Chain A
């Protein structure tokens, strides 16, 4: 898909909504609203995409009352389907990445950022084939957080493991430490990043469970939504600490495991059927 950018609504140059001129209070309120995405941009509607639909931007600190996670049912993950991958790329602006000039396609493929990937594996003994999406496993004890020299790699109170790009120095030690190859380094200058997903050259990044959705009050991820929309329903997103949540109930009833459970990282992403 194309990200909304331009051309803009022709009404841009026209006089704005009179309420904006009603005084500082009004304009402040208007700014607040826009900043929060709670109102449509009056002047530039195309800028803030249908922002009126946004729920409630978070006003309080995230707490450890929640722990977000995913459950992947590999039996339902369809061979050859990459809806979750595409959805992730679009959600986070990764589809805007372009191969650098004078660079081979093969080389670019090893250097571009991948937050979510499909993996197909076969049991050596039985020959059984499984498909699954791999992404940051959002460990309770993330090795990437342990090794980060500046503390840029951190775990939010609600269990989301992410990178503070303001303090990431690009040493890539977290990528050495991650058992899941979940992290990507931004190897090139980025100029067309999305407002909701800032990303730029020289920092490390990875799946953040669509954290901006969480902060706008939406309990979903792009990958899970895309999978559900196709009717595959192989990815379930939810709160691992809420016993009533769908994911908790599913985890209680069906056998599942962590990848590299030998490391005892207590991952937030669990897999069934593999």
Chain B
């Protein structure tokens, strides 16, 4: 194992500025969408009094979960002492804070009164898990910045491990807290389970790692930095484990739900009669988001092919979006069960007449706002790696893996 040298991202200028231009355009469109929603009110979105959280929240939760998950690699490197992952620690930290900023921006800009952010900062209701999360998110930013310092600064050495452990605990609390935002809602059948907390934790591992891998492969390829096959394979194995973990928890989640008669209707609706939600569940979440990526990751040939790896990571992320669509929006669309044993046959406020679910279709501003948040995260990352030394010069197996493993095969740059 060699000494790791970090350097700025030296992608050719014109390509770099082109990339920044595209990201800035995405961010700009997101900003315009937020202004549009803020100026007119939320009637320009598909969100309603029944489905109160929509597409922006899918993007926001995705980014927040990924932020926590992206830091996983740094944790593995510093807390669990896996030397091979250590060189990725800085990128891991940068990505974590960038994704969190993107996600929080979406959440804030989707508020009915984003101008009252100051109120949100100065008024706290400590019974609210949502208020707790505000602390968890801001604390996360501070801790990640300290973590980055400890990893990058000569003086930081002795602090890496304690800060790393603290960051890991904090991040687990953060994802558990995010899951609890939904899990603590006793009113809605599909929520109302502490199970969502660990489920979100494992989801964050999978989505964060998938994003991390995509960013890593893109930045390294653009500059021809070597990325070892063994290291990449390890990361993919890890991704496979996490995706399988999500799949396992998904099965348990629905099994626990279906165990009580009161939830029969809910589960059969999600799995079979939910229209878009059933489609999102089977096609998006289970097939494209879990089984296909697992197939790629554990396929002896495909798992060696860069394009298939990219596809697997992208599918994990898109599948994650689908799963959040089912969990967040589907759970709201399914009518509240106010009168068990009764059927609502008329209502002045869409109380699930004859069991009908609330309708929701995302509108363009919502999607643009969400994409804008992704754009912000990517923009921060792109600027960060360009101006500071976040990326290791080489992740060739010989450079990062213990000697007995690293010499097995020579590495090809950028494959």
Which A residues fall within an 8 A CB radius of B?
A: 82, 85, 100, 103, 107-114, 117-125, 129-130, 134, 143, 145-152, 167-173, 175-181, 183-189, 201-204, 259-260, 263, 274
Contact A122 to B49, CB < 8 A, known contacts A170-B112, A189-B41, A201-B112:
no
Hey, which chain B residues are within 8 Å of A85, CB to CB? 348
Q: Which of B52-111 contact A (CB under 8 A)?
A: 52-53, 111
* Stretch from B129-137, B232-240, B302-310 forming part of the interface with A: B129-137
Hey, which chain A residues are within 8 Å of B358, CB to CB? 110
In this complex, how many residues of chain B approach chain A with their Cβ under 8 Å: the count is: 51
CA distance A124 to B339 in the complex (A): 10
CA distance A110 to B187 in the complex (A): 20
CA distance A203 to B351 in the complex (A): 22
B42 within 8 A of A: yes
Closest-by-CB residue of A relative to B363 is A107
Contact A121 B112 (CB under 8 A): no
Q: 1/0 per position for B322-364, CB-CB distance to A under 8 A?
A: 0000000000100010110111111111110000001100000
Hey, which chain B residues are within 8 Å of A180, CB to CB? 187, 336, 338
* Stretch from B9-17, B117-125, B379-387 forming part of the interface with A: B117-125
Contact A202 to B348, CB < 8 A, known contacts A149-B120, A180-B336, A188-B41:
no
Hey, which chain B residues are within 8 Å of A148, CB to CB? 125, 128, 130
Closest-by-CB residue of B relative to A115 is B349
Min CB gap A166→B, angstroms: 8
CA distance A184 to B41 in the complex (A): 13
Hey, which chain B residues are within 8 Å of A113, CB to CB? 49
Which among A107, A113, A114, A169 has the highest number of chain B CB atoms within 10 Å? A169
Point out the residue from B42, B186, B339 that lies within 8 Å of A187, measured CB to CB: B42
Contact A124 B343 (CB under 8 A): yes
Contact A172 B343 (CB under 8 A): no
Min CB gap A253→B, angstroms: 24
B3 within 8 A of A: no
**Count: A-B pairs, CB below 8 Å:** 183
B257 within 8 A of A: no
Contact A110 B49 (CB under 8 A): yes
Which B residues fall within an 8 A CB radius of A?
A: 40-43, 47-50, 52-53, 111-114, 116-117, 119-120, 123-125, 127-131, 134, 181-182, 184-188, 332, 336, 338-339, 341-351, 358-359
CA distance A167 to B122 in the complex (A): 10
CA distance A13 to B348 in the complex (A): 45
Contact A121 B342 (CB under 8 A): yes
Point out the residue from A103, A107, A167 that lies within 8 Å of B119, measured CB to CB: A167
CA distance A62 to B219 in the complex (A): 63
Contact A171 B119 (CB under 8 A): no
Hey, which chain A residues are within 8 Å of B342, CB to CB? 121-124, 130
Min CB gap B237→A, angstroms: 37
Point out the residue from B112, B184, B345, B347 that lies within 8 Å of A122, measured CB to CB: B345
Contact A147 B128 (CB under 8 A): yes
Hey, which chain A residues are within 8 Å of B345, CB to CB? 120-122, 129
Contact B123 A167 (CB under 8 A): yes
CA distance A107 to B117 in the complex (A): 29
Which among A110, A129, A130, A172 has the highest number of chain B CB atoms within 10 Å? A110
Hey, which chain A residues are within 8 Å of B129, CB to CB? 147
Min CB gap B134→A, angstroms: 7
CA distance A185 to B332 in the complex (A): 15
Contact B348 A119 (CB under 8 A): yes
Hey, which chain A residues are within 8 Å of B48, CB to CB? 107, 110-111, 187
